Amino acid sequence: MQGWVLHKIECPFLKRIYPRNVPDAARMLCKLIIKLDKGGDLVRGYYTETCSRRFRDMMSHYAEIKNDARRLEHLESLYGVLQEMMGDSVIVPNLTELTSIYGRLITNGFSILDAEMNSIATAIYLGVSVTDHSCKPNAVATFEGTTLHIHAIEDIECLDWSKIFISYIDLMNTPAQRRAELQANYYFFCICAKCTNTAETHEMLAAACTNKNCNEFLDINLNNCPRCDAGVSPKHRNAYNEAMTITKTHLENMKDIAYLDVCKLCLAKQKGYLHPLNV
């Protein structure tokens, strides 16, 4: 019954555009517009007994979106769909207001995951939106149905939400890749402990030493290992570069689904050339 309150308003809009399929983002925006019109802007999400957040408390990133051609194109496309769906409805916001709603959605929305870690829906959790990102998080978000839980993964002295961090992105990427993704999608430059650690990139991209008894994180551009002085041959360097290129290509192609045989091929190419902790 709770869903019917919104759906009875949304249903005529969906019928109006039928049989066209409505993009998920457009339908989510439609639901947000309806909810906000029905007093949703006054709803509070509590993260302590006394502290809470409303929809308007979240950052809209309006200025950043106005300068982001990729996001502007997406927004204008969604605006066109909403105008077709909702027609002359008085609740349809102007493009300026829609930009603010859109900005809050794309930077604060959580992908709800099923037991197999597949994304099945997107939702905004007002209280949890207070949680910031770190590439070295001390907490993790999990789902039980549509209920979101924040679990500490290390000891935390006291419950201070300004000191509780989750990760918004894949942490297996290099600092440069993580920073680029965060800047592109969330509009901030990460200065967490991992991203500011100069050794992080070196270790994540390290080659294996030609001396099997040496565990040095080897810079492939060096001629000799700084720890054991083993030489780095052109053959070893070429094999490393080939393994890195092939692995990167296959990882990009397997963003949505991974294939075991391709993973085995990459591991075979990496053996003896990439450091065991190279990601």
pLDDT of residue 143: 87
The boundaries of the domain holding residue 227 are: 175-270
Measured CA angle at 42 (ends 36, 44), to 5 deg: 115
Of 109, 131, 153, which residue is a domain's last?
Answer: 109
Q: Is 99 in the same domain as 193?
A: no
Q: Is 128 inside any structural domain?
A: no
Question: How many domains is the chain partitioned into structurally?
Answer: 2
The torsion angle over the Cα atoms of residues 248, 252, 255 and 260, rounded to 10 degrees, is -50
Q: Is 118 inside any structural domain?
A: no
Q: Is 6 in the same domain as 103?
A: yes
Q: Is 257 inside any structural domain?
A: yes
Q: Is 124 inside any structural domain?
A: no
Q: Is 17 in the same domain as 98?
A: yes
In angstroms, the CA 122 to CA 108 distance is 10
In angstroms, the CA 65 to CA 75 distance is 9
pTM, 2 dp: 0.85
**Which helix (DSSP H) or strand (DSSP E) does residue 134 occupy?**
none
CATH number for 52: 1.10.220
pLDDT of residue 204: 93
Q: Is 226 inside any structural domain?
A: yes
Q: Is 155 inside any structural domain?
A: no
Backbone φ and ψ for 233, nearest 5 degrees, come out as -80, 160
Q: Is 275 inside any structural domain?
A: no
Q: Is 95 in the same domain as 180?
A: no
**Which helix (DSSP H) or strand (DSSP E) does residue 262 occupy?**
helix 260-270
Residues of the chain with pLDDT under 50: none
Of 85, 109, 133, which residue is a domain's last?
Answer: 109
Q: Is 163 inside any structural domain?
A: no
pLDDT of residue 12: 84
pLDDT of residue 9: 82
pLDDT of residue 2: 64
| DSSP structure string for 186-246 | H------TTTT-HHHHHHHTPBPPSSTT----B-TT-SB-TTT--B--HHHHHHHHHHHHH
